[in-house]
Each structure stands twice: as C-alpha cells, then as structure tokens.
C-alpha cells in the first residue's frame, strides 16, 4: 500500500512484497515519479531497489519503528533467551527473565509505575540485558537528530559500542544494519515515517474481520480506499 505523505491518502494498493509487485505503481505514476523527493518504508530491499531505480530524485527513509522492532527480535529477544537459558538451575530467576519480553521491548515512558520498578530491578541484576536495552534506546535517537552530521556522529558512537559490546547478537545486528545507514540518516532531512500506513493496516484488519474476508480483491481494495480518504481539505 502506498500513501501520500502530505494528504495521508491511499493512492495505490497491490499484492506482494517483490520489486515486480510494486512496479505497476511507478508505471501508473509515469513521469510524475521524478517529482518524488523521499519515500518512507520498512527495511524491504526489494522496495528500496525499485524506488532508487524508478525515482532518481528520491531518498529512501527507513522507518524507525521497523528498525527498532527488528532490533527487538534479533537482539533483545536473543539476549533475553540466552540469559534465561544460563539460569536452568535457578527456576525462579529464569522465569523472571523469560517473562520480561514486553518490559524490555516497550517504551519506558509507556510503562506503569509497577512495571517500571520491575524493569529497573531486572536491568540492575543483568549486565548484558542492560547493555542491550540501553543501546536500543540510543539507537532510537538517530531519528531525532537535528541534522545529518549529528546523526552520523551518533551512529558512529552507537556502532562502535555495539561492535565492542561483547554481545554476539548485537554485533551481528550492527554489522547488518550498516548498509542501511544512509536510509536512516536521511530522516534528518525528511521527517517521514510509516506510522500513517501502520494505522491504515490496523484499519484493514478490522475491515477484513467485519466481512470475514473478501473473495474479490478489487472490491477489497476499494473498501480500503474508502476507509482511508486522507486529510479533509
């Protein structure tokens, strides 16, 4: 699904996540695609490559939520499970760490007071979880930098700490993230994200649930467009 960043209106819907799946959108745009300045997306290499080929004047902006969510899966979860597995002989402590997934993934500002206390106690008792958690929060700051130079310096600091952390999952994630750096730093020039699309995706789930699914894809797409008219002018 493609939405206009200015109007928040759905402009195109297709099926699949390959370059071939998104290509009809650019054919529909025609020469207008040269006017696109920036495109926010998740870390989908197929979309990235197709945008760069079809929109010569556009910059790719990787959405913060998706990058941090990927960090949660590939770093926080693996560190948490690894630490829990080391406590096989201490069932009580192992249970606490295994059950801490949402505490570690949620934004600290969204925690209830009693949850914040539990998180503080958990981090105080486990150095590796603390390191992974703090670097997760520091990673988020790249999207809030005042300018590209500040963001690039912040990345360099974060990357060095991640590589030298001694945490294998964190080291691996940092190395895999490095090729996507320019798409992260571009957020300092283009304050774009995919939050509007995420909201639309939740709306789509409700539409599908209320209808118990759709056999007619074209009709389903029309229902999505009708539910996402964009900003009223």
Q: Residue 76: which of 58, 47, 97, 48 has the closest Cα? A: 97
Q: What is the pTM of this model?
A: 0.85
Q: What angle do CA 154, 186, 135 make, to 5 degrees?
A: 30
Beta bridge mates, 3: 10
Query: Which sign does the torsion angle of CA 25, 26, 29, 30 carry?
Result: negative
Each residue's pLDDT tens digit, 218-231: 888 888 888 888 87
* CB distance 104 to 137 below 8 Å: no
Q: Is 6's pLDDT higher than 70?
A: yes
**Contacting residues for 116 by C-beta, under 8 A, at least 6 apart:** 108
* CB distance 43 to 180 below 8 Å: yes
Q: Is 21's pLDDT higher than 80?
A: yes
Each residue's pLDDT tens digit, 33-60: 999 999 999 998 899 999 999 999 999 9
């Amino acid at each position: 699904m493609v939405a206009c960043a200015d109007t928040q209106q759905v402009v195109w819907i297709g099926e699949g996540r390959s370059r071939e799946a998104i290509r009809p959108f650019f054919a529909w745009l025609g020469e207008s695609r040269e006017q696109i300045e920036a495109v926010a997306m998740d870390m989908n290499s197929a979309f990235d490559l197709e945008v760069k080929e079809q929109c010569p004047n556009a910059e790719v902006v990787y959405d913060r939520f998706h990058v941090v969510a990927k960090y949660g899966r590939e770093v926080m979860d693996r560190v948490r499970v690894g630490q829990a597995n080391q406590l096989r002989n201490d069932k009580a402590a192992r249970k606490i760490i295994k059950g801490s997934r949402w505490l570690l993934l949620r934004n600290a500002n969204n925690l209830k007071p009693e949850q914040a206390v539990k998180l503080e106690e958990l981090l105080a008792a486990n150095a590796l979880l603390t390191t992974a958690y703090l670097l997760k929060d520091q990673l988020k700051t790249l999207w809030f930098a005042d300018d590209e130079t500040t963001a690039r310096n912040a990345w360099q600091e974060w990357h060095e700490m991640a590589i030298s952390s001694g945490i294998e999952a964190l080291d691996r994630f940092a190395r895999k993230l490095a090729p996507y750096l320019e798409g992260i730093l571009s957020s300092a020039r283009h304050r774009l994200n995919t939050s509007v699309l995420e909201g639309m995706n939740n709306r789509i789930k409700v539409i599908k649930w209320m209808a118990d699914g759709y056999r007619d894809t074209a009709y389903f797409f029309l229902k999505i467009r009708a539910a996402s008219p964009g900003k009223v002018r």
